[in-house]
Amino acid sequence: MVGGGIVGAAVLYHLTKLGWSDVVLVERKQLTAGSTWHAAGGFHSMNSDPNVARLQAYGISLYKEVEAISGQDVGMHLTGGITIAATSERWEVLRYEHERHRVFGIDSHLIGPEEIKQLCPIMDTSKVIGGLYDANEGHIDPYGSTHALAKSARIAGAEIFLNTKVEDLVHKPDGSWTVVTDKGNIQCEHVVNAAGLWAREVGQMAGVHVPIIPMEHHYLLTGDIDEIAGFDGELPLILDMDGEMYLRQERNGVLLGVYEKNSTAWSVNGTPWDYGETDLLEPRLDDIETELMRGFERFPSVADAGIRHIINGPFTFAPDGNPLVGPVRGVQNYWSCCGVMAGFSQGNGVALALSQWMINGEPDGDIFAMDVNRFGDYATRSYALEKGKEFYENRFTLLCPNDEWPAARPNKVSALHDRLQQANAVFGSSFGLEIPLWFAPPDSVPTETPSFRRSNAHEPVGEECHAVRESVGILDSSSIAKYEISGPDAVAYMDYLFASRLPDCGRVRMGPLLLPSGHLKGDLTIMRLAEDSFMVTGSGYLQEFHMLWFEQHAGNKNLRIINRSNEMSAIAIAGPLSRELMALVASGDVDNNSMPFMSVQTMNVGLAQCLIARLSFTGELGYEIYVPTVYARALYDQLLKVGNKLGIRPFGIRALLSLGMEKSFGIWSREFTPDYTPAMCGLDRFVDYGKADFIGREAALVDRDTKPEHRLVCMEIDSADADAWGYEPVWYKDEYAGFISSGAYGHTVRKSLAMAYLKPRFLDSSDNEFSVHIVDQRKPAKIIPQAAYDPSGSRMRS
């Protein structure tokens, strides 16, 4: 373990807790000598990701455990916390969040201004509409909590070397490491980078680029405030997101911190080794003035109390503000545990997940939101700087599910980008690549209004869906991940890797990947191009995540695994007239006999040699055309030119999701994640339980024969202006029945649709009297027994 901040100490403790005792922490100075010592120590259990929220709740409960083991006071102040709303939009979102907390297991309460005033008498609540209260929030002593974790780990056998600087990491041929320190070498099997402010430098020692950026951050401490001195109790932790600030009690005064719009990145090109322990940065009062003034307005007595002390210290941010946790691809036995922006809320949870990963081979549940492999080589230092700054400045900005943040864009663009721009595409970004979300009407500005309800995209997306259902649509699907797996051992390897049967030559099959626990690891499409040659496709943003898994299981087998995602583009043609179009441009026969559903062939399309798969992600007759990127634009032009007479129309990802929802097609990260098993989500129909062996087989057999905790169903919701997004609770009468995994409006069937994980005992409710919280209102809903559109699948097979 490199680093003795809150995160390194938490990992050290959790490794011992889960059974390893031969573990060592190396700290260049004293424990807490990085960001940790000057933190405000606030913690929250609320988070918009249910698994991160679960880990945060666990982490808070752990402090008492290590206090008891170590005898070290952690300085716990479980004061409760209130997130307040001063705008009607924020209040609506807090009410929505409150409903979703039922799904996350968070026991939050909505409270009004009077109750807020009682709990926090120094607040001017005249402009406050309400707040969301969570009893499981507060603050902790950074020194005490770090030392309690470290001491507890020591009691369980861990060693800690202080004043010992790691200077190099040498990877040995057997995959183990020599850790070179200024006091001598340590031989070990695994290295964890928990070096916080210096994680970039410790990354470089192993040739690993760590996409984080330290940002300066201020809080001030006031002198005594009379109202607090006379208050019977302790102020709760206050998050005032509209004011972009937080506040908690400190003795008889307060600590007030701000997330300023005028932010400053620190030590962009590397953290100096001589920084730490007692260093602080020069305050930038001019830059934080706006937010401070807002704070003084909300808490008038704070302005009068006088600033006793002002702290400006750096801490690190990943491009999306989430931690970077897990095994690093390409560097065996090297683990990342850095970019932890909220160490006191998240340190313990992150440490638990990492320790499970190191010891058991996988973390419990879906922690992709903090997986280090969610980024690729596009996340350069410059990218991390722009994105980290954007995240910092928007830390408390009200975010809608359709928000697309602009920093560091465009970064990667597909070969069709200018053509899509000419068609007035509204772009999103996935794995650094610009992707067409939908197409705005000609002569309008191609932007989407952020909203929890249906936005200005609703009508245009509807038109795109109709074009696909009635004639033919064309989609730039270049963002899809494309892997070539081939070679003499490819068949044996693929057969063990995938839980499904492998397709025959020239055929395509859906291929679930399972973890040893039987939970899902992937939902890929396997195309067999020749006896020992496969093309595998999947969600583009999972490229590093998939490649790590593929490589971890390759051993020294004789095969090639190549990520072709950048060098190959993909264009999807979908709709009843798509065969007519393909017949006009393709060199071979594309009729149903020559090219049946779920088959794949190489042929010329226009001038280019392409791989064509007869697939459907829309529920219509459709083809996916894979082509080397240099040919993609000419091919796209040709398809548009020839398709013009058939009424061809470009469509985007939003239309794709709506069309897929009408067909009840689940997608990765929503219906399919490591939280679920094949029997829960219906992917069991692709699992070949009779196969001799595959990863997760034993657990999959148990899963097949056990009643699942939740089962995936399709639902129809009676909602006029908004659709479900995910993790909304589903009620049966007044009983909690389960939760939504994703939702969309079905433009063909003219219904608000969703997919939901429900407890099995509710599945046969004959009266079908369900309801779902959409934004802040309960809407009637019912289970629909089959896909809303073409349940027999005749159209895509036609």
Ligand X SMILES: Cc1cc2nc3c(=O)[nH]c(=O)nc-3n(C[C@H](O)[C@H](O)[C@H](O)COP(=O)(O)OP(=O)(O)OC[C@H]3O[C@@H](n4cnc5c(N)ncnc54)[C@H](O)[C@@H]3O)c2cc1C
Ramachandran area for residue 506 (φ above 0: left; ψ -120 to 50: alpha; else beta): left
Q: Three-state SS string across 760-784, please?
A: HHHCCCCCCCEEEEECCEEEEEEEE
C-beta closer to ligand X: residue 202 or 610: 202
C-beta closer to ligand X: residue 111 or 281: 281
Comparing C-alpha atoms, which of 165, 155, 176, 56 is closest to residue 104? Answer: 56
Minimum Å distance from CB 160 to ligand X? Answer: 11
- Please list every residue from 329 through 348 that binds ligand X, using CB under 6 A: 338, 340-345
Q: Pairing between strand 191-193 and 245-250?
A: unpaired
- Please list every residue from 68 through 97 that binds ligand X, using CB under 6 A: none
CA dist., res. 593 & res. 640, Å (int) = 26
- Please list every residue from 206 through 245 that binds ligand X, using CB under 6 A: 217, 219
C-beta closer to ligand X: residue 234 or 776: 234
- Name residue 312's amino acid: N
* List 15, 34, 55, 726, residue binding ligand X (CB under 6 A): 34
Minimum Å distance from CB 85 to ligand X? Answer: 21
* List 11, 12, 15, 26, residue binding ligand X (CB under 6 A): 26
* List 42, 253, 696, 743, residue binding ligand X (CB under 6 A): 42
CA dist., res. 237 & res. 119, Å (int) = 10
C-beta closer to ligand X: residue 313 or 503: 313
C-beta closer to ligand X: residue 40 or 468: 40
CA dist., res. 352 & res. 635, Å (int) = 49
* List 13, 15, 17, 38, residue binding ligand X (CB under 6 A): 38
Q: Pairing between strand 568-574 and 334-338?
A: unpaired
C-beta closer to ligand X: residue 310 or 413: 310
Tell me: does residue 431 bind ligand X (CB under 6 A): no
From the list 33-41, 117-125, 371-379, 503-511, the region that binds ligand X by CB under 6 A is 33-41
CA dist., res. 635 & res. 616, Å (int) = 20
C-beta closer to ligand X: residue 235 or 574: 235
Minimum Å distance from CB 234 to ligand X? Answer: 16
Q: Which residues contact 188 (CB under 8 A, 6 or more apart)?
A: 24, 176, 177, 179
Supply 215's token pair: 């940002």
* List 18, 29, 529, 588, residue binding ligand X (CB under 6 A): 29
Tell me: does residue 276 bind ligand X (CB under 6 A): yes
DSSP string, 576-630: TTHHHHHHHHBSS--STTTS-TTBEEEEEETTEEEEEE---SSSSSEEEEEEEHH
Minimum Å distance from CB 109 to ligand X? Answer: 23
Minimum Å distance from CB 746 to ligand X? Answer: 42
Minimum Å distance from CB 385 to ligand X? Answer: 17
Are 58 and 66 in contact by the 8 Å Cβ rule? The answer is: no
C-beta closer to ligand X: residue 77 or 412: 77
Tell me: does residue 4 bind ligand X (CB under 6 A): yes
From the list 29-37, 117-125, 361-369, 382-390, the region that binds ligand X by CB under 6 A is 29-37
- Please list every residue from 697 through 716 that binds ligand X, using CB under 6 A: none
Q: Which 8-state DSSP code applies to residue 498?
A: B
* List 13, 91, 104, 198, residue binding ligand X (CB under 6 A): 198
C-beta closer to ligand X: residue 185 or 587: 185
Minimum Å distance from CB 2 to ligand X? Answer: 5
Q: Which 8-state DSSP code applies to residue 528?
A: E
172-188 in b/e burial notation, b at 16+ Cβ within 10 A? eeeeebebebeeeebeb
> What binding mask, one character per residue, do residues 345-374 give for ligand X by CB under 6 A, x or -?
x-----------------------------
Which secondary structure element, helix H or strand E, spans residue 24, and what is its range? strand 24-26
Are 528 and 502 in contact by the 8 Å Cβ rule? The answer is: yes
Any bridge partners for residue 56, and if so which?
none
> What binding mask, one character per residue, do residues 479-518 give for ligand X by CB under 6 A, x or -?
----------------------------------------
Are 58 and 220 in contact by the 8 Å Cβ rule? The answer is: no
Burial of 282 from C-beta contacts in 10 A (0-12 / 13-18 / 19+) = exposed
CA dist., res. 249 & res. 237, Å (int) = 8
Minimum Å distance from CB 312 to ligand X? Answer: 7
Minimum Å distance from CB 238 to ligand X? Answer: 12
C-beta closer to ligand X: residue 395 or 747: 395
Tell me: does residue 2 bind ligand X (CB under 6 A): yes
C-beta closer to ligand X: residue 392 or 549: 392
* List 160, 169, 191, 202, residue binding ligand X (CB under 6 A): 202
C-beta closer to ligand X: residue 40 or 796: 40
* List 28, 90, 200, 654, residue binding ligand X (CB under 6 A): 28
CA dist., res. 672 & res. 681, Å (int) = 7
> What binding mask, one character per residue, do residues 158-197 give for ligand X by CB under 6 A, x or -?
-------xx---------------------------xxxx
C-beta closer to ligand X: residue 202 or 423: 202
C-beta closer to ligand X: residue 42 or 432: 42
* List 1, 6, 132, 191, residue binding ligand X (CB under 6 A): 6
Instruction: Compute how many residues bind ligand X; rule: CB under 6 A.
Output: 43
Minimum Å distance from CB 57 to ligand X? Answer: 14
Question: What are the percentages of helix, strand and coil residues in the chain, rounded to 5?
Answer: 30, 30, 40
Helix (H, G, I), strand (E, B) or coil at 272: coil
Minimum Å distance from CB 343 to ligand X? Answer: 3
> What binding mask, one character per residue, do residues 299-328 give for ligand X by CB under 6 A, x or -?
------------x-xxx-------------
Tell me: does residue 27 bind ligand X (CB under 6 A): yes
Comparing C-alpha atoms, which of 99, 218, 125, 549 is closest to residue 362? Answer: 549
Q: Which residues contact 341 (CB under 8 A, 6 or more apart)?
A: 315, 316, 317, 318, 321, 322, 323
C-beta closer to ligand X: residue 354 or 548: 354
419-457 in b/e burial notation, b at 16+ Cβ within 10 A? bbeebbbbbbbbbbbbbbbbbbeeeeebebeebbbbbbb
Q: Which residues contact 202 (CB under 8 A, 6 or more apart)?
A: 2, 3, 166, 169, 193, 195, 210
C-beta closer to ligand X: residue 27 or 240: 27
For residue 661, CA distances in Å to 323, 461, 555, 574 come to 31, 14, 39, 16
* List 39, 129, 225, 433, residue binding ligand X (CB under 6 A): 39
Please count the other Cβ atoms lying within 10 Å of the Cβ belonging to residue 638.
Answer: 16
CA dist., res. 596 & res. 748, Å (int) = 25
* List 1, 12, 33, 228, residue binding ligand X (CB under 6 A): 33
- Please list every residue from 551 through 610 that binds ligand X, using CB under 6 A: none
Supply 154's token pair: 């020591």
> What binding mask, one character per residue, do residues 438-457 give for ligand X by CB under 6 A, x or -?
--------------------
CA dist., res. 196 & res. 212, Å (int) = 10
Per the omega criterion (within 30 degrees of 0), is the bond before 319 cis? no
Tell me: does residue 774 bind ligand X (CB under 6 A): no
| Terminal C-alpha separation, the chain | 58
In the complex, the residues that contact ligand X under the rule CB under 6 A are 2-8, 26-29, 33-36, 38-43, 165-166, 194-198, 202, 217, 219, 276, 311, 313-315, 338, 340-345
